[in-house]
Amino acid sequence: MLALSFVELKAQNPITNIDQLKSSFVSGVTELYQEKVYIHTDRAMYITGETIWIKPYCVDATFHTLSNLSKIVNIELFDTKGKAVKQVRVQLNNGIGEGQLFVSPDIQTGTYVLRAYTNWMKNFNSEFAFSKKISIINPAVVPLANDDTRPDSTKFIMNFFPEGGDLVNGLESKIAVKANDSFGRGLSLTGVVFDNEENEVAKFNTSKNGYGSFQLLPIAGKSYVARIAVDSNVHKIEIPKARNSGIIMAVTSNRSGDYNLEVKSTQDFLQTMYLVVHTRGVINKIEPLYPKIAQNIKIDGLANGITHITILNSDFNPIAERLLFKYPSIDHLVDASPNKKAFGKREKVSLMIEKEQLDLKANLSVSVFRSDSSLQIGSNIVSNLLLTSDLKGEIPNAGYYFNDRNRNRIGQLDLIMLANGWRRFDWQQIAKQNERVLNFPAEINAPIISGRLHKNVNHSLPQSVQISFMGKASFLNTIDVDSEGDFFMEVPFRIKNDKVIFFINNDSLSKDQVTMNSPFTFNYSIAQKFYPNINIGLKKYVESLNANIQVSQIYRKYNFINGLAIDQQNVKTAFYGTPDQIYFLDNYTRFETVEDLFIEYIRFAYIKTKNKKRNFYVLSETGYQVEALVTIDGVPIFDSEFVLGFDPLKVEKISMINNSFYIGDIGYSSLLNFTTYNGDFAKQALPSGLVELAYDAIQSPREFYSPNYEINGDLLERIPDYRNTLYWNPNVSISNTSLQLEFYASDDPGLYQIQIEGITKDGTPFFSVDYFSIVGDKVP
C-alpha cells in the first residue's frame, strides 16, 4: 500500500504538566479531522430483483456538519461469511450523494451488512466505518427456513461493568450488567449476587435488550459471584475483583439537564489527578483533582451525544473513565404528515414536511414503503451519529432508544454508556505523542487511482507511467513513480469507464508489471454470528413483498422498478481540449482503408515511410512535417501498422492537433485522435505493450420512478401497480418554508411507512416516522 506522509503529528516530549496535557489533547484529538458516514436506505428488507436505494451523508465526526472534504464514499454489502457481494463508489457533493445497489438473483436469502466509509476514514479504526444490517429474501430459496429467532437463554454471555472501570473495597459502586446470546441479542434474565460466605448482597434484572444494574459495596477479603437460574440450571459468574486502594466515580443527572460527578477515593490514595471531560474531542473540562476522600463536580454545557469523563493519575495515565449520554432536547425538528390517514388505490398522496424552528435549514431524504406493524424501526441517522458511530461493537435496534414512546430510553442509554467504554482515540497514544502518519489521502477533488509499478526484465523502473481512459471524451495523463514504484493521482469523475489502460511511452509494458490498489481495502471481520432479521411474525409481510416484486418484474417496462438511467458524463471534452481540425467521416465518401482515407480527405496529415517504417505526420504551425502521437478513443497506439489496419468504417471522426502539447511532463509534436462511434475502441483488442486493468468507477446514479396517474392514468390503467417502495427522494432541501411532496398510492392495500432522515445546516440530525393505509377504493 502506498504510504503518503502528507500529514503528521510530530513526536514531543512525554506529558509532564496540565498545559502539555491540553496541548497534546488538542493536537492529537480535537484538531485531527475525522469523518463519519451514514447511509439512509429506502427500506431494510428486500426481495431479489429490487433495488436498494441509497442516500449517503458524510459529516464532520465532531460537529456533524456536512463534510466538504471527501468527494467519494465506498459502499459494500457483506454476507454472513464476510464476503463482499456488492461494491460501489458514490460521488459526494457537499457531503451528500445518491446511489443504488441492485439485489441480483445470485444473492441468497439472509442477513447482510451494508458498510460505508471514505478513503480518509481508512486512516482510523475500521470499527468506526458505517454498518447497517439488511435482510434479503431470494424467492428461489425458502424465505423463512430459519424462522425461530427466539434467543436460547441457556447459551448466554454476561459481563459486569463497574462504573468508572474498577471496584474499590470500602467504596460503593454501581455495576452495569450486559447479557446477550451468541448472536449478540439481549436476554432478559434475573440474577442474585452472593459473597464468599453465601450472604445475598444484591439482586438484578436485565431488560429485553439485555441491560441491567445493581449497587455493590465490596469489602476487603471478600469475593462475589452472581447466580443466574435458567431452566432449572444455576450458572455462576464471578464479579470483577475489587482493588484495595483507588478511586471510583459516579455520575447523576439533575432536573436542569446538567450532571453531577462524584469522585471518591480511599484514604491512602493521595496523588494529584487530572479530570478530562470532552464530547467527540471538544474539551469541556481539563483540570486537576487534588487528594480528597470525596468531591463533587458540576458538568454542564454538554453537546448532544456521548461525552467522555476520564480521570488520569499523576503520570497522566487513565485510571477511571465513564461515558454519559446527553439526550437531544427536541425529538422532532422536522415532521412529515400525509393529508389523510387512508387512501384509495392510485390516489394522490400529499406529504407535508413542517419544521419545528422557522429559521431551520436542512437537507433530508424521504422514503415511503410497504410496512408491517411488527417491523422494528431499527437504526436511524440520530441513533447512528449520536450513539453507535462513537462506540465499538453493535447496539442492536439502536433506534429503540430514540423512540419517544420509550419512556425509559434515557435510563437505558445510561446503562449502554456504562457497558461500552470504547472511544475513537487511544489515551496511551496521546500521552506518548507517537508520530502518526496518515497513509490514505482524502479524495478532496476527485477519485484517486494508486498502485505499484514493478521492475521489468532489465530490472529497471521508469520514473513515470501513463494512463488512459478510453471514450469519446477520453482522458490521458502521466503519473510520477517513486523509488519504490508506487504511484497515485487524481483522475476525473469517470462515470462510465470500468477499465484503465497503462502504458510507457514507446516502450512495452506487461500485465504483471502493474498492480492497482483497490479502494475497498478497509479491514472487516465478523465479530459475532449474524442472526436472521426475518422471523415467523413477518411471514405474511415477506410473502406480500415477494408477490409484489413478481408482478412488478413482469411489467418492468412500464413501472421501471429499478429506476431510470441518468446520463452523466462529467468530462465533456477529451484530454487535448479543442482540436485544430476535426474530420467527420460521414461527410465524405467512406473508404475501406485508413491509408486511402488519408490520401483522399485528411489535409495537413500524411503517412510517410522512414527507415522502412510507416508513420503518421502532421504539418505543424511552423510549416514542418512532425511525427504525430496517434490515439484511438484516447488510447495511444505506438504501432502505426495497427492503426493502418483499423477499420475506418468504425471511426466517426478524426481530430488533429498541429502544435506541440504535453501529457504530464512528456511532450509531443502533434496529435491524431481517431474516435469510434461508441468511444469503445470498436470493441477490438488492444495492441501488445498496453495493459488494461479493471477500474472501480464512480457509480452512475439512477432516478427513482414514481408514476403520475394524473397525467398518464389512461396509459397505465391496465398495468398493475404493486410497488413495495412508493416514493424515494434522496435530496430534499428545506429552508424557510414548509414543503409539500406528492406521489401516488399503489394497487396494494396495507400499511405504509413514511420515513424521513436528515441533518440541519448546524449539524443536528433528525428522524421522523408516520404511517398511512391504502384501503382499496378511493377514500373521501
CB atoms within 10 A of CB 619: 16
pLDDT of residue 333: 83
Banded pLDDT at 12 (limits 50, 70, 90): very low
Q: What is the rounded distance in angstroms from the CA atom of residue 174 to the CA atom of residue 629?
A: 77
Q: Residue 110: CB partners within 8 Å, gap ≥ 6? A: 79, 80, 135, 136, 530, 532
Taking every pair of C-alpha atoms in the chain, what is the biggest distance, in angstroms?
107
pLDDT of residue 221: 94
Q: State mean pLDDT over 743-763.
A: 94
Q: What is the rounded distance in angstroms from the CA atom of residue 500 to the CA atom of residue 470?
A: 8
pLDDT of residue 536: 60
The backbone torsions φ and ψ at residue 346, rounded to the nearest 5 degrees and listed phi first, read 60, 20
User: For 429-498, where are the E strands, in sequence order?
Assistant: 436-437, 448-453, 464-469, 475-480, 486-490
Q: What is the rounded distance in angstroms from the CA atom of residue 248 to the CA atom of residue 163?
A: 7
- Residue 415 burial (10 A CB sphere; 0-12, 13-18, 19+): buried
Q: State mean pLDDT over 587-603.
A: 91
Whole-model pTM: value is 0.91
CATH class of 581-677: mainly beta
Reply yes or no on whether the pLDDT at 638 is more than 70.
yes
pLDDT of residue 146: 47
pLDDT of residue 8: 35
Q: What is the rounded distance in angstroms from the CA atom of residue 321 to the CA atom of residue 766?
A: 29
pLDDT of residue 712: 83
Reply yes or no on whether the pLDDT at 424 is more than 70.
no
Q: Do 35-145+528-559 and 581-677 fold alike per CATH?
A: no
Nearest CA-CA partner of 744 in 715, 719, 713 = 713
Q: In terms of DSSP H, where are the helices of 427-538?
A: 427-432
Banded pLDDT at 380 (limits 50, 70, 90): very high
Q: State mean pLDDT over 607-612.
A: 90
Reply yes or no on whether the pLDDT at 529 is more than 60.
no
pLDDT of residue 433: 52
Convert 230-247 to b/e letters by CB count within 10 Å (16 or more is b). eeeeeeebebeebbeebb
Share of the chain above pLDDT 70, in %: 91
Least confident piece of the model among 7-11, 37-41, 491-495, 769-773: 7-11
Residue 338 and residue 738 in contact, taking contact as beta carbons nearer than 8 Å: no
Kind and range of the H or E element at 87?
A: strand 84-91
Q: How far is CA 769 from the centre of its chain?
A: 23
pLDDT of residue 291: 81
CB atoms within 10 A of CB 455: 11
pLDDT of residue 152: 56
Residues β-bridged to residue 88: 75
Q: Report, at the CATH architecture level, how domain 35-145+528-559 is classified.
A: Sandwich (2.60)
Q: What is the pLDDT of residues 240-262, one digit of tens each?
A: 999 999 999 999 988 777 899 99
Nearest CA-CA partner of 721 in 560, 506, 535, 514 = 560
Q: Residue 377: CB partners within 8 Å, gap ≥ 6? A: 397, 399, 400, 403, 769
pLDDT of residue 664: 80
Q: Residue 402: CB partners within 8 Å, gap ≥ 6? A: 331, 380, 382, 383, 387, 409, 767
Q: What is the rounded distance in angstroms from the CA atom of residue 511 to the CA atom of residue 488?
A: 18
Q: What is the rounded distance in angstroms from the CA atom of residue 625 to the CA atom of residue 651?
A: 24
pLDDT of residue 7: 35
Q: In terms of DSSP H, where are the helices of 601-708?
A: 640-644
Nearest CA-CA partner of 695 in 523, 522, 519, 573 = 519
pLDDT of residue 4: 33
pLDDT of residue 705: 93
Least confident piece of the model among 20-34, 433-447, 719-733: 433-447
Sequence letter at residue 573: T
Reply yes or no on whether the pLDDT at 154 is more than 70.
no
Q: In terms of DSSP H, where are the helices of 209-278?
A: none
pLDDT of residue 662: 86
Q: State mean pLDDT over 658-673.
A: 89
User: Which residue ranges make up each domain of the chain?
Assistant: 35-145+528-559, 581-677
Q: What is the rounded distance in angstroms from the CA atom of residue 750 to the CA atom of residue 548?
A: 12
Q: State mean pLDDT over 490-510.
A: 84
Mean pLDDT of the chain, nearest integer: 88
Reply yes or no on whether the pLDDT at 147 is more than 60.
no
Cα-based distances in Å from 755 to 43, 277, 770: 9, 35, 7
Residue 632 and residue 647 in contact, taking contact as beta carbons nearer than 8 Å: no
Q: What is the pLDDT of residues 65-78, one digit of tens each?
A: 999 999 999 999 99
